[in-house]
Protein backbone atom coordinates (compact mmCIF):
# COMPACT_ATOMS: atom_id res chain seq x y z
CA UNK A 1 0.00 0.00 0.00
CA UNK A 2 3.09 2.21 -0.02
CA UNK A 3 2.35 3.56 -3.47
CA UNK A 4 -1.34 4.28 -2.81
CA UNK A 5 -2.70 7.83 -2.64
CA UNK A 6 -4.87 8.01 0.47
CA UNK A 7 -7.47 10.73 0.99
CA UNK A 8 -8.44 11.98 4.40
CA UNK A 9 -11.95 10.59 4.31
CA UNK A 10 -14.07 7.49 4.73
CA UNK A 11 -16.08 5.96 1.92
CA UNK A 12 -19.23 3.87 2.08
CA UNK A 13 -19.13 0.10 1.77
CA UNK A 14 -21.62 -1.81 -0.42
CA UNK A 15 -24.51 -3.79 1.07
CA UNK A 16 -23.94 -5.78 4.25
CA UNK A 17 -24.29 -9.20 2.65
CA UNK A 18 -21.52 -8.56 0.16
CA UNK A 19 -19.28 -7.05 2.85
CA UNK A 20 -19.80 -10.07 5.07
CA UNK A 21 -19.03 -12.45 2.20
CA UNK A 22 -15.79 -10.61 1.47
CA UNK A 23 -14.84 -10.56 5.15
CA UNK A 24 -15.46 -14.28 5.53
CA UNK A 25 -13.59 -15.07 2.33
CA UNK A 26 -10.52 -13.19 3.59
CA UNK A 27 -10.61 -14.47 7.15
CA UNK A 28 -11.53 -18.12 6.87
CA UNK A 29 -12.04 -18.70 3.16
CA UNK A 30 -14.89 -20.01 1.06
CA UNK A 31 -15.40 -22.66 -1.58
CA UNK A 32 -12.83 -24.99 -0.03
CA UNK A 33 -10.22 -22.29 0.58
CA UNK A 34 -8.46 -21.68 3.88
CA UNK A 35 -8.61 -17.92 3.34
CA UNK A 36 -5.79 -15.58 4.27
CA UNK A 37 -6.42 -16.10 7.98
CA UNK A 38 -6.22 -12.59 9.31
CA UNK A 39 -8.72 -10.16 10.71
CA UNK A 40 -10.34 -8.27 7.83
CA UNK A 41 -10.83 -4.72 8.98
CA UNK A 42 -13.89 -2.80 7.87
CA UNK A 43 -12.28 0.57 8.66
CA UNK A 44 -9.31 -0.30 6.50
CA UNK A 45 -11.69 -1.11 3.63
CA UNK A 46 -13.49 2.22 4.09
CA UNK A 47 -10.34 4.26 3.56
CA UNK A 48 -10.74 6.50 0.53
CA UNK A 49 -8.00 6.12 -2.08
CA UNK A 50 -7.26 6.99 -5.68
CA UNK A 51 -7.50 3.61 -7.40
CA UNK A 52 -4.20 1.86 -8.13
CA UNK A 53 -5.76 -0.68 -10.52
CA UNK A 54 -8.84 -0.84 -12.72
CA UNK A 55 -9.53 -4.27 -11.19
CA UNK A 56 -12.09 -2.58 -8.95
CA UNK A 57 -14.22 -2.04 -12.09
CA UNK A 58 -14.25 -5.78 -12.75
CA UNK A 59 -15.22 -6.51 -9.16
CA UNK A 60 -18.08 -4.01 -9.35
CA UNK A 61 -19.22 -5.42 -12.69
CA UNK A 62 -19.14 -9.00 -11.39
CA UNK A 63 -21.19 -8.07 -8.33
CA UNK A 64 -24.01 -6.97 -10.65
CA UNK A 65 -23.75 -9.71 -13.27
CA UNK A 66 -26.75 -11.78 -14.31
CA UNK A 67 -25.60 -15.40 -14.26
CA UNK A 68 -28.40 -16.51 -16.60
CA UNK A 69 -26.97 -14.38 -19.38
CA UNK A 70 -23.47 -15.91 -19.58
CA UNK A 71 -21.13 -15.78 -21.47
CA UNK A 72 -20.27 -12.15 -20.81
CA UNK A 73 -17.26 -10.05 -21.77
CA UNK A 74 -16.42 -6.58 -20.54
CA UNK A 75 -13.61 -4.12 -21.04
CA UNK A 76 -12.63 -0.70 -19.75
CA UNK A 77 -9.92 1.87 -20.26
CA UNK A 78 -9.18 3.77 -17.11
CA UNK A 79 -6.88 6.05 -15.21
CA UNK A 80 -4.96 4.69 -12.25
CA UNK A 81 -2.83 6.45 -9.68
CA UNK A 82 0.36 5.57 -7.80
CA UNK A 83 2.11 7.75 -5.29
CA UNK A 84 5.48 7.70 -7.04
CA UNK A 85 8.10 10.21 -7.94
CA UNK A 86 8.02 11.18 -11.59
CA UNK A 87 10.73 10.31 -14.12
CA UNK A 88 10.95 9.41 -17.82
CA UNK A 89 9.61 5.93 -17.16
CA UNK A 90 7.20 6.51 -14.24
CA UNK A 91 4.32 8.82 -13.50
CA UNK A 92 1.80 9.15 -10.73
CA UNK A 93 -0.99 8.69 -13.29
CA UNK A 94 -1.21 5.97 -15.89
CA UNK A 95 -3.76 4.24 -18.10
CA UNK A 96 -4.85 0.65 -17.78
CA UNK A 97 -6.99 -1.57 -19.97
CA UNK A 98 -9.16 -3.93 -18.03
CA UNK A 99 -10.89 -6.91 -19.53
CA UNK A 100 -12.87 -9.87 -18.20
CA UNK A 101 -14.46 -12.90 -19.84
CA UNK A 102 -16.98 -14.76 -17.71
CA UNK A 103 -18.04 -18.25 -18.73
CA UNK A 104 -18.21 -21.72 -17.18
CA UNK A 105 -16.01 -23.19 -19.92
CA UNK A 106 -13.18 -20.69 -20.28
CA UNK A 107 -9.66 -21.70 -19.27
CA UNK A 108 -6.06 -20.55 -19.01
CA UNK A 109 -5.29 -21.26 -22.68
CA UNK A 110 -8.17 -19.00 -23.65
CA UNK A 111 -6.74 -16.23 -21.50
CA UNK A 112 -3.43 -16.57 -23.32
CA UNK A 113 -5.34 -16.55 -26.61
CA UNK A 114 -6.96 -13.19 -25.87
CA UNK A 115 -3.68 -11.71 -24.66
CA UNK A 116 -1.77 -12.90 -27.71
CA UNK A 117 -4.39 -11.40 -30.02
CA UNK A 118 -4.43 -8.10 -28.10
CA UNK A 119 -0.67 -7.61 -28.14
CA UNK A 120 -0.34 -8.68 -31.76
CA UNK A 121 -2.93 -6.03 -32.67
CA UNK A 122 -0.84 -3.55 -30.68
CA UNK A 123 2.02 -4.35 -33.01
CA UNK A 124 4.09 -6.80 -30.96
CA UNK A 125 4.81 -9.92 -32.93
CA UNK A 126 7.13 -11.56 -30.41
CA UNK A 127 5.57 -12.08 -27.00
CA UNK A 128 6.12 -14.46 -24.11
CA UNK A 129 4.10 -15.51 -21.09
CA UNK A 130 5.73 -16.13 -17.76
CA UNK A 131 4.56 -16.92 -14.23
CA UNK A 132 3.64 -13.91 -12.10
CA UNK A 133 1.98 -13.08 -8.83
CA UNK A 134 -1.11 -11.02 -8.18
CA UNK A 135 -3.05 -11.49 -4.97
CA UNK A 136 -6.40 -11.83 -6.75
CA UNK A 137 -5.58 -14.20 -9.62
CA UNK A 138 -4.38 -17.82 -9.76
CA UNK A 139 -2.95 -18.85 -12.17
CA UNK A 140 -1.35 -15.48 -12.87
CA UNK A 141 0.67 -14.51 -15.90
CA UNK A 142 2.91 -11.65 -16.96
CA UNK A 143 3.16 -10.66 -20.61
CA UNK A 144 6.59 -9.68 -21.94
CA UNK A 145 7.01 -8.28 -25.43
CA UNK A 146 10.28 -8.27 -27.28
CA UNK A 147 11.35 -4.74 -28.07
CA UNK A 148 13.00 -4.82 -31.48
CA UNK A 149 15.05 -1.64 -30.99
CA UNK A 150 16.09 -2.21 -27.39
CA UNK A 151 16.57 -5.94 -28.10
CA UNK A 152 15.17 -7.01 -24.78
CA UNK A 153 12.01 -8.32 -23.14
CA UNK A 154 9.78 -5.61 -21.72
CA UNK A 155 7.14 -6.29 -19.09
CA UNK A 156 3.81 -5.03 -20.39
CA UNK A 157 1.18 -6.26 -18.06
CA UNK A 158 -0.47 -8.79 -15.86
CA UNK A 159 -3.40 -11.14 -16.22
CA UNK A 160 -4.87 -14.25 -14.67
CA UNK A 161 -7.97 -16.13 -13.65
CA UNK A 162 -9.68 -14.62 -10.61
CA UNK A 163 -9.28 -16.70 -7.44
CA UNK A 164 -12.40 -18.35 -5.99
CA UNK A 165 -11.89 -16.19 -2.87
CA UNK A 166 -12.51 -13.17 -5.14
CA UNK A 167 -15.29 -14.52 -7.37
CA UNK A 168 -17.47 -16.42 -4.90
CA UNK A 169 -18.27 -13.49 -2.55
CA UNK A 170 -19.23 -11.40 -5.61
CA UNK A 171 -21.42 -13.83 -7.55
CA UNK A 172 -22.14 -16.70 -5.16
CA UNK A 173 -20.38 -19.49 -7.07
CA UNK A 174 -17.06 -20.20 -8.75
CA UNK A 175 -17.12 -19.49 -12.46
CA UNK A 176 -13.78 -18.90 -14.18
CA UNK A 177 -13.26 -15.22 -14.89
CA UNK A 178 -10.38 -14.48 -17.27
CA UNK A 179 -9.01 -11.07 -16.31
CA UNK A 180 -6.29 -8.81 -17.63
CA UNK A 181 -5.13 -5.32 -16.80
CA UNK A 182 -2.02 -4.25 -18.72
CA UNK A 183 -0.98 -0.64 -18.59
CA UNK A 184 -0.69 0.93 -22.00
CA UNK A 185 1.26 4.14 -21.46
CA UNK A 186 4.39 2.39 -22.66
CA UNK A 187 2.57 1.27 -25.81
CA UNK A 188 1.34 4.86 -26.35
CA UNK A 189 4.83 6.26 -25.92
CA UNK A 190 6.20 3.76 -28.41
CA UNK A 191 3.45 4.49 -30.92
CA UNK A 192 4.06 8.22 -30.89
CA UNK A 193 7.82 7.87 -30.77
CA UNK A 194 7.99 9.70 -27.45
CA UNK A 195 11.06 9.11 -25.27
CA UNK A 196 9.69 10.38 -21.98
CA UNK A 197 6.36 9.41 -20.36
CA UNK A 198 6.04 12.94 -18.94
CA UNK A 199 5.56 14.29 -22.44
CA UNK A 200 2.08 12.71 -22.50
CA UNK A 201 0.97 15.36 -20.00
CA UNK A 202 3.25 18.13 -21.18
CA UNK A 203 0.67 19.45 -23.72
CA UNK A 204 3.37 21.00 -25.87
CA UNK A 205 1.07 22.46 -28.52
CA UNK A 206 3.80 22.64 -31.16
CA UNK A 207 4.41 18.93 -30.70
CA UNK A 208 0.68 18.08 -30.60
CA UNK A 209 0.07 19.96 -33.84
CA UNK A 210 2.73 17.81 -35.48
CA UNK A 211 1.65 14.52 -33.93
CA UNK A 212 -1.89 14.91 -35.19
CA UNK A 213 -0.78 15.20 -38.78
CA UNK A 214 1.71 12.41 -38.40
CA UNK A 215 -0.90 10.07 -36.89
CA UNK A 216 -3.06 10.35 -39.97
Partner 1 sequence: MTILILPRKNFEKDIEKLDEKMQEQIAMFGTPIESISDEAVHIEIFPNRPDLLSYGNYINALKSFLGKDIGLKKVNLNKPEKDFIVYVDKSVSKVRPYTVCSVVKDLKLDDNNIKEIIDIQEKLHLTLGRKRKKVAIGIYPLEKIKFPISYKALNPEEIKFRPLGFNKELNGKQILSQHPAGKEYGYLLNNFDKFPVFIDSNHEILSMPPIINSDKTGKISLDTKDIFIECSGNDLNTLNKILNIIVLSLEFMGGKIYQISIKGAENIITPDFTPEKMNLSLLNLNKLLGLELKEDNVKKCLERMGYEYSKGIVKVPSYRADVLHEVDLIEDIAIAYGYDKFIPEIPKISTIGRTDFKETFKMKISDIFIGLGMIETMSYHLVNKDIIKNTEQNFKSFIEVKDSKTEYKFLRKDLTSCLLNILSKNLDVEYPQEIFQLGRVFDGFIEKEKLAVALISGNFTRLKQIIEYFSKMLDINLEIKNPKSFPSYFIDGRVAEIFFNNKPIGFLGEIHPKILNNFRLKMPVALFEISIDDILNN
Q: Which residues bind partner 1 (CB under 8 A)?
A: 5-9, 11, 29, 31-37, 48, 50, 71-73, 79, 81, 83-86, 92-93, 101, 103, 105-110, 112-117, 128-133, 135, 138-142, 155, 161, 163-165, 176, 200-206, 208-209, 212
Quote the Cα angle for 110-112-113, to 5°.
Answer: 60
Output the smallest distance, CB 138 to partner 1, in A. Answer: 4
Quote the Cα angle for 165-142-121, to 5°.
Answer: 115
Is 78 in contact with 57 (CB distance < 8 Å)? yes
Identify the sign of the CA torsion 106, 131, 51, 184.
negative
Distances (CA, A) of 122 to 105, 116, 166: 27, 10, 30
Output the smallest distance, CB 205 to partner 1, in A. Answer: 5
Backbone angles phi, psi at 81, to 5 degrees: -130, 140
Which lies closer to partner 1 via its Cβ, residue 11 or residue 123?
Answer: 11
Beta-ladder partners of 134: 137
Output the smallest distance, CB 206 to partner 1, in A. Answer: 5
Phi/psi region, residue 136 (left: phi>0; alpha: psi -120 to 50; beta: rest), is: alpha
Backbone angles phi, psi at 143, to 5 degrees: -105, 125
Output the smallest distance, CB 71 to partner 1, in A. Answer: 5
Output the smallest distance, CB 130 to partner 1, in A. Answer: 5
Amino acid sequence: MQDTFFLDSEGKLPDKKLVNNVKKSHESGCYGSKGWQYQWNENEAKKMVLRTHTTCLSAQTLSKINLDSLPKKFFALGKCFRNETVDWNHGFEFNQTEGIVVDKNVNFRHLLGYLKEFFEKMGFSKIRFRPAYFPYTEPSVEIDVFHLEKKQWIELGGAGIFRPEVVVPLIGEFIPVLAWGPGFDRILVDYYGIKDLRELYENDLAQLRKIKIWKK
